Amino acid sequence: MGIRLKIPTNHVRSESLKIREKLIKGEESNVVAKAGLIAHGRGEAFDYLLGEITIPPALFAARAAAASLLLASHPVISVNGNSAALVPDGLVALSREIPADLEVNLFYRSRKREDAVKAALKSAGARAILGVGRDANAVIPELFSERRKVDPQGIYSADVVLVPLEDGDRTQALKKLGKFVITIDLNPLSRTAQTADITIVDNLIRAAPNILASVKEMKTLDKTDLKLICDRYDNKKNLSETMLYIRERLRQLSRDN
Ligand code: ATP
């Protein structure tokens, strides 16, 4: 156990430091992989460019994601170490509200980590959790070793999959399997962001509650209205708007200097 950092509440980066602490604790309890800490750093850099807020294209994507999840016949939320450490309550609440299955899906898979992620979801109130141990006995073609394992009751038979913070190879493999892929990724340039059907360029910490709020709001809409929301969404266009937003923000900041 490392030395714990005491974060003053008035520290200018107190929120971001608290998030880092969550991930460090997660790493110590096997929920987060060491590489997950590095991936978080990459995410933080992009969050800086966004101004650490939910920008309009991210809100638009979150609404399209909610509509797609509500329209799905078998939606699954894929949970990796970082998401289990950062927003376990949010993902469990979302899975209940849609409703959708929760599946443990790890890049660096080991029984110890699967159990740790499962425990984190359980303490957030999850009941059924797929993808642990022998349950993950289906394979995603074209991927190697432990990365290919999924649950036949979950991701393998899903039509819509929400994969926060996924890597590019697996996103491409899921697309080839015919899945409709929704991702949350702060990097609009990542292969995952570019390949998914819906990319929410936002911090998972902000995106999870936004999707949940949209699901709650749209739950009473009929299928035709939900379909309209999905049809109006164009991921390439939304990613372009995200990049233009960053460009404009940097332009304004450079003027103020
Ligand atoms: P790809 O393989 O898709 O090109 P990558 O190599 O960056 O991308 P990983 O490192 O596996 O993929 O995934 C981490 C991704 O998650 C990064 O793109 C990073 O920006 C993003 N990320 C990290 N932390 C967060 C967070 N809290 N919220 C949203 N996205 C995040």
pLDDT of residue 256: 83
CA 164 to centroid of ligand 1, rounded, Å:
9
Q: Distance between alpha carbon 160 and the CA centroid of its chain, in Å?
A: 13
**Beta strand 75-79 with 101-104: parallel, antiparallel or unpaired?**
parallel
Cα–Cα distance for residue pair 124/33, rounded to 1 Å: 20
Q: Which runs of consecutive H residues, i.e. helices, occur in 124-234?
A: 168-176, 191-195, 204-218, 223-231
Query: Is the per-residue pLDDT at 68 higher than 80?
Result: yes
Please state the pTM of the whole predicted model. Answer: 0.95
Query: Is the per-residue pLDDT at 126 higher than 60?
Result: yes
Q: What is the length of the chain?
A: 257
CA 43 to centroid of ligand 1, rounded, Å:
6
Cα–Cα distance for residue pair 133/237, rounded to 1 Å: 40
| Residue of 165, 166, 199, 246 to test ligand 1 pocket, by largest number of atoms within 8 Å of CB | 165
| Residue of 23, 32, 42, 242 to test ligand 1 pocket, by largest number of atoms within 8 Å of CB | 42
Torsion of CA 17, 28, 190, 177, to 10 degrees: -140
Instruction: Confirm if 77 and 66 have CB atoms less than 8 A apart.
Output: no
Q: Of all residues in the chain, what percent carry a pLDDT higher than 70?
A: 96
Specify which residues 150 forms β-bridges with: 138
Determine whether the shortest distance from the Cβ of 195 to ligand 1 is under 6 A.
no
Determine whether the shortest distance from the Cβ of 191 to ligand 1 is under 6 A.
yes
CA 50 to centroid of ligand 1, rounded, Å:
15
Q: What is the pLDDT of residues 72-120, one digit of tens each?
A: 999 999 999 999 999 999 999 999 999 999 999 999 899 999 999 999 9
Q: What is the mean pLDDT of residues 15-20?
A: 91
**Beta strand 149-150 with 138-139: parallel, antiparallel or unpaired?**
antiparallel
Specify which residues 101 forms β-bridges with: 76
What is the pLDDT confidence band of residue 141, given thresholds at 50, 70 and 90? Answer: confident
Ligand 1 atom nearest residue 202's Cα: 29
Determine whether the shortest distance from the Cβ of 204 to ligand 1 is under 6 A.
yes
Instruction: Confirm if 158 and 66 have CB atoms less than 8 A apart.
Output: no
Alpha carbon separation from 91 to 62, 63, 124, 209, 210 (Å, rounded): 14, 16, 9, 9, 11
